[in-house]
Amino acid sequence: MSIRVFSGVQPTGNIHIGNYLGALKQFVDLQAEGTSVEDVPHRSDQSSLNDCIYCIVDLHAITLPKDPAELRDSILDVAALYLAVGIDPKKSVVFVQSDVPGHAELAWILMCNSYTGELSRMTQFKDKSRGNESAPTGLFAYPVLMAADILLYDSNVVPVGSDQKQHIELTRDIAIRVNNKYGDDTFVVPEGRFLKDGARVMALDNPTAKMSKSAENPHSFISLLDDEAKIRKSIMRATTDSDGEIRFDPASKPGVSNLLTIYGAFTGKPVAEVEREWAGRGYGDFKKAVAEVTTDALEPIRRRYAEIRPSDELRAVLRDGAERAGAISEKVILRVKERFGLGA
Ligand code: AQP
């Protein structure tokens, strides 16, 4: 039996190298290989190739106001990027969240099994609602919808960036709570999968904050679709420090450490090796090298994206994905409704 992998990305703003290195790159790697059972403690069966489901989470995008036309375009942009980075719709299910009704349905059921206290502790909610007297209910309930996304597919493994650790923990807590009440096999309890290097890429202009799509400064992040000149400019401007030593020390050298992380992730070298390679050399040369490896990695993605985005095939992939995802999720919804005593 294969391991079920599930994850998603919001169709908001520019997909950046943080999203890519923390999440999308893992999506591609996981589709090509079987996950060893040691990575998934609650499974004892032999795994074969992973069974991957990748979603564009548009219902999450409307937790804050969005222009409808822009949102529709962004959904197709992210779908095209999924394929451009190497997600193969013949191997993985690729679809849009709102095309499968089970996400919203299960979210309501889970909301009735989660507590305002635990949701108020979510740091992402605190960050996004800071300074406002009142926040949209959807923003508050966002982690429950994320739990529904994951539990709807009996997912074993969820590849995400480390900023999502708290939400994965909440998903597990809700699944265990429901299982204790309604039967052990109501939900599969999932595991988060976080990379060692690249799990948290920091903002180039403020390396103590994570790289974020909603940053106002365009040089804070590198979009997957940025051209060579923009990549070079953003990296050459990246905030570092004045001691001139290339060393991985996120606490006292967050900027240089972030560049080491990016270089390591794009070259596939462990950060310690990159540190040794660059010891005693200058920031200027190092930044040029980071820009070069980033450009080399993103150029083929940009090229494939330009071919895929205008093609009719994209919508066909999403329709087919929604059908396949719908068939899997319907079975889980039926099981949950039966356990809860819902329906005629
Ligand atoms: N800086 C990051 N480093 C590593 N991984 C990251 N991810 C996001 N930022 C980083 C991972 O990318 C996946 C998709 O993220 P998302 O689109 O669902 O939402 P997000 O985390 O809210 O992304 P942003 O860029 O931070 O958007 P805004 O600015 O709108 O809040 C997730 O797996 C996430 O961990």
- Over the stretch 97-136, which tens digit does the pLDDT of each residue have? 999 999 999 999 999 999 999 999 999 899 888 888 899 9
Which of 91, 213, 230, 269 is catalytic? The answer is 213
Specify the ligand 1 atom closest to the Cα of 19. Answer: 12
How high is the pLDDT of residue 133? 84
Candidates 15, 19, 142, 195: which one to mutate for ligand 1, based on the most atoms within 8 Å of Cβ? 19
- Domain 3-199+313-340 belongs to what topology? Rossmann fold (3.40.50)
Average pLDDT of the segment spanning 137-150: 97
CA distance 106 to 330: 11
Tell me the CA–centroid distance for residue 280 and ligand 1, in Å.
33
Which of 66, 91, 128, 269 is catalytic? The answer is 128
Task: Please indicate whether residue 230 is annotated as part of the active site.
Answer: no
Amino acid (one-letter) located at 212: S
How high is the pLDDT of residue 44? 47
- Over the stretch 188-243, which tens digit does the pLDDT of each residue have? 999 999 987 767 899 999 999 999 988 899 999 999 999 999 999 999 999 999 99
Assigned CATH for 218-305: 1.10.240.10
Specify the ligand 1 atom closest to the Cα of 162. Answer: 35
Nearest Cα to Cα of residue 330 among 338, 320, 319: 338
CA distance 201 to 74: 22
The boundaries of every CATH 1.10.240.10 domain in the chain are 218-305
The boundaries of every CATH 3.40.50.620 domain in the chain are 3-199+313-340
pLDDT band for position 37 (50/70/90)? very low
Task: Please indicate whether residue 210 is annotated as part of the active site.
Answer: yes
Specify the ligand 1 atom closest to the Cα of 7. Answer: 33
CA distance 205 to 120: 29
Question: Average pLDDT over the chain, rounded to whole?
Answer: 93
CA distance 292 to 231: 9
Least confident stretch, 38-47, 102-111, 172-181: 38-47
CA distance 338 to 130: 40
Mention every residue, 6+ apart, whose C-beta is less than 8 A from residue 44: 37
Residue 48: Cβ-neighbour burial (10 angstroms; 0-12, 13-18, 19+): exposed
Amino acid (one-letter) located at 88: D
Average pLDDT of the segment spanning 56-66: 95
